[in-house]
Amino acid sequence: MRAVEDVSFAIAAGETLALVGESGSGKSTVGRAVLRLEEPTAGRVRFEGTDLATLTPRALREARRRMQIVFQDPFASLNPRRTIGASVAEGLEIHGIVPREEIGDRVSHLLEEVGLDASFASRYPHEFSGGQRQRIGIARALAVAPTFIVCDEPVSALDVSVQAQVLNLLLDLRTQRGLAYLFIAHDLALVHQIADRVAVMYLGTIVEIGPARAVIGAPSHPYTRALVSAVPEPDPTKAKTRIVLEGDPPSPSALPIGCPFVTRCFHPAKDARCSTERPHLRPVGDQQVACHCAAPGDGAAST
């Protein structure tokens, strides 16, 4: 069984690519494979020009100074037996970034940078709320001064009011530190705020990728159109057609031969080719779309 297949994208320095899709679409697997926290059976990840798969364990550890991850679950991502200070100091110690006697100072700085009190360093994770823990996780990632961070649904486990605060923190850090993000999410409204480009995943493949404005403003792939139509519209006077998909996604162990979306597709031009031939990404409008039928302007009607 393949969780993820045929996924290819590039992220420029300082750029944010959002990876969107429903649960089980393989977004997190991609995020972890990018950092080689999970070994892909095939495929390559190049970071700053080097293929990560060719690195020795030592060189890979060195490369990890520059790419970090912020996890979804703020309760599982901090070791309950270690103080906040110890967790944040971990990267500093591993890479010997600052002399031992300056670690405490640096940890205080990092905690303040993510909006926490420096005195929290001696406390344990269970004393903090989800939002605070997520900030701690961010401070831990920032400790090694990375240029690229995989944000694996960093706010989806948080209360809505806290989501905005953590999202703003990520935006501020991006400006201050020139960070590039791979922002994994299932909420398009959120993605709209943070992403330069958006990639939409369905059942382990990218079905649409392009500038955020194009993908969210004029979605082309039927699946993206359905996703975009589900975003709540704050303006009640605005007309809005909601596309409701029928059925469930097929089991990843028994994928359709042709287009993975064929079982739920509502495109009027759907034909036999869709169930026999797998579509590959091709330019449609400003974005790349993996659909035989999609045409520029398809999505205009749905938004």
Residues that bind other proteins (CB under 8 A): 32, 35, 37, 60-62, 64-65, 67-69, 71, 73, 76-82, 87, 90-91, 94-95, 124-126, 137, 140-141, 143-144
Nearer to other proteins, 92 or 255 (CB): 92
Nearer to other proteins, 71 or 120 (CB): 71
CB of 68 vs other proteins, minimal distance in Å:
6
CB of 7 vs other proteins, minimal distance in Å:
20
**Can you read off the two tokens belonging to residue 297?**
């302007």
Contact between 163 and 151 (Cβ < 8 Å) = no
Nearer to other proteins, 55 or 171 (CB): 55
CB of 201 vs other proteins, minimal distance in Å:
21
The CA-based dihedral angle spanning residues 263, 266, 271, 274, taken in that order and rounded to the nearest 10 degrees:
-50
Three-state secondary structure of 22-58: CCCCCHHHHHHHHCCCCCCCCCCCEECCEEHHHCCHH
> In whole angstroms, what is the distance from residue 141 CA to residue 14 CA?
16
CB of 76 vs other proteins, minimal distance in Å:
4
CA triple 150-289-221, angle to 5 deg: 100
CB of 159 vs other proteins, minimal distance in Å:
20
Please list, in sequence order, all residues whose beta carbon lies within 8 angstroms of the beta carbon of residue 292, skipping any fewer than 6 positions away.
259, 271, 273, 274, 277, 279
Nearer to other proteins, 30 or 69 (CB): 69
Q: How far is CA 21 from CA 67, 140, 184, 201, 209, in A?
A: 23, 27, 8, 5, 12
Q: How far is CA 171 from CA 130, 166, 218, in A?
A: 19, 9, 24
> In whole angstroms, what is the distance from residue 20 CA to residue 215 CA?
11
CB of 43 vs other proteins, minimal distance in Å:
19
Which class for 125: exposed (0-12), middle (13-18), buried (19 or more C-beta within 10 A)?
buried
CB of 75 vs other proteins, minimal distance in Å:
9
**Can you read off the two tokens belonging to residue 25?**
């679409």
Q: What residue has token string 């293929």?
A: 51
Nearest Cα residue to 4 out of 36, 28, 37, 20: 28
CB of 61 vs other proteins, minimal distance in Å:
4
Which class for 48: exposed (0-12), middle (13-18), buried (19 or more C-beta within 10 A)?
exposed
